[in-house]
Structure 1
């Protein structure tokens, strides 16, 4: 997470894209392990050892950064709204509460309309 925090400080737009891409998807995307060589043993002990608990802990840490860097940018707010459904219930609640606390007075009417439209879908 320190690398991501450094990226947020130095390249916030790129960091935002990375953070959004690190969040889970509902699309049914799958992952396959790397191809294991048949004639060499350099990859013998490379089975992934990430537990489900560790995975969700990292999703939580990524979502913390998403919410803290969202601000009142309508595109970022819409991105968060789009990701909520793919999150576990406790992160959904946290995200919704964060969205409800956004100061809408600082968002122009056109952007508010975009956000409202996105939240209805």
Structure 2
């Protein structure tokens, strides 16, 4: 079904979906501090199931076109991008300048990983 699309498009698309679920599984509960921890754990596990339904195919499909280090780098960049938006839009936290600079340094690291010297 997805085989007619370029590998990077499928891989990155699946990783985007995966990281949306992951971010909600890991951090969505922070808005509900009064909910019992065991409820939060069960709900997070259920959400994380869908994260894995996207993450595993993304890595399976992308591996070979990308190596494992590249896949992990893509995942981390996507994860941080989604988390920055999530923390501002969902949690209402400010986006501070040092977060942006730190993120830019991680993007610079990704540039190094993807370029042969």
TM-score category (smaller protein):
0.3 to 0.5
> Which protein has greater RCO, CA pairs closer than 8 Å, 6+ apart?
2
TM-score, normalization by structure 1 = 0.35
TM-score by length of 2: 0.36
